[in-house]
């Protein structure tokens, strides 16, 4: 009998040890968030990793996410995905959140109110184009404008029914279409074009002033909506302590604070449309 009891006790101890070893440390997993993003320079992109090495994520929003997480004693695992796949996965709780998205077009995501980036849209034309500056959508009536399919500018451009949209699936096509004179203009993010060196191409020029500004935000899934407040405070702190300025200067030619000053008139001009778009959603 004693031998039987002893054997049973050993089995119980072995099962208990195996079970406890298979349960992850809740403190560790609760402090690590899986966040997705889509490729958008200078805000987020990944470098081609050599075989056997870790993927290296780079960009303004990537650094902001890491610094904001650090302030909270957390860590982030980053995943680059196509835009629609990213936001759909967050809405379905497959990812904990996204480091940037456009709230006008997505549901099921809890937004961090403090924005630190956005789409600075500009029209690009061939150097020989008669357009000398941006005057309004009306100047492109009965002309063809290339735009990124699914981008934040599509609905805005459709305000002019006489404007012909040519939707492309890749950002570099926007530049190529203008350079080859296949369209009258394209619209894209000015900072992106500057970040990838396209503004140095003298065959294409940007029309000034910039056309519109659409803010983007961090967002979290339903099961992680409790994260919103802490991340909002962390981003505010990065702005106030100067870290946001340093992050911007690490990636582009201008600090966050100076960029906001330059964008102030454009942001005010764009606010009415953005509010209407949200109301009509």
Q: What is the pLDDT of residues 105-156, one digit of tens each?
A: 557 899 999 999 999 999 999 999 999 999 999 999 999 999 988 777 888 8
Answer for the pair 118, 216: CB distance below 8 angstroms, yes or no. Answer: yes
What is the average pLDDT across 245-253?
Answer: 95
Structure confidence by residue, pLDDT tens digits, 168-202:
988 888 888 999 999 999 999 998 887 766 656 78
Q: Is residue 19 over pLDDT 50?
A: no
- Domains of the chain in start order, with CATH, are 26-117+215-272 (3.40.190.10), 122-213 (3.40.190.10)
Residue 43 phi, psi (nearest 5)? -90, -35
Strand-pair category, 164-168 with 110-111: unpaired
Reported pTM: 0.79
Mean pLDDT of the chain: 84
Q: Is 72 exposed, middle or buried (0-12, 13-18, 19+ CB in 10 A)?
A: middle
Cis peptide before 272 (omega within 30 of 0): no
Q: Which residue has the tokens 């196509």?
A: 82
């Amino acid at each position: 009998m004693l031998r039987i009891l002893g054997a049973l006790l050993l089995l119980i101890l072995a099962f208990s040890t195996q079970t406890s070893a298979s349960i992850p440390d809740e403190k560790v997993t609760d402090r690590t968030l899986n966040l997705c993003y889509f490729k958008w320079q200078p805000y987020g992109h990944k470098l081609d990793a050599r075989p056997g090495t870790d993927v290296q994520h780079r960009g303004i929003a990537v650094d902001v996410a890491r610094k904001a997480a650090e302030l909270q004693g957390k860590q982030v695992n980053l995943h680059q995905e196509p835009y629609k796949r990213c936001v759909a996965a967050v809405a379905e709780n497959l990812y904990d959140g996204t480091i940037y998205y456009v709230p006008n077009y997505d549901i099921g995501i809890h937004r961090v109110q403090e924005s630190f980036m956005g789409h600075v849209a500009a029209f690009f034309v061939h150097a020989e184009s008669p357009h000398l500056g941006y005057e309004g959508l009306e100047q492109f009536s009965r002309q063809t404008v290339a735009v990124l399919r699914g981008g934040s500018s599509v609905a805005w451009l459709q305000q002019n029914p006489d404007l012909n949209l040519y939707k492309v699936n890749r950002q570099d096509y926007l530049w190529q279409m203008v350079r080859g004179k296949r369209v009258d203009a394209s619209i894209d993010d000015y900072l992106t074009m500057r970040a990838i060196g396209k503004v140095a191409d003298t065959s294409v020029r940007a029309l000034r002033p910039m056309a519109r500004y659409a803010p983007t935000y961090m967002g979290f899934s339903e099961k992680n909506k409790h994260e919103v407040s802490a991340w909002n405070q962390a981003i505010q702190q990065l702005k106030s302590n100067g870290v946001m300025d340093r992050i911007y200067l690490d990636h582009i030619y201008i600090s966050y604070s100076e960029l906001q000053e330059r964008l102030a008139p454009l942001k005010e001009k764009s606010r009415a449309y953005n509010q209407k778009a949200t109301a009509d959603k």
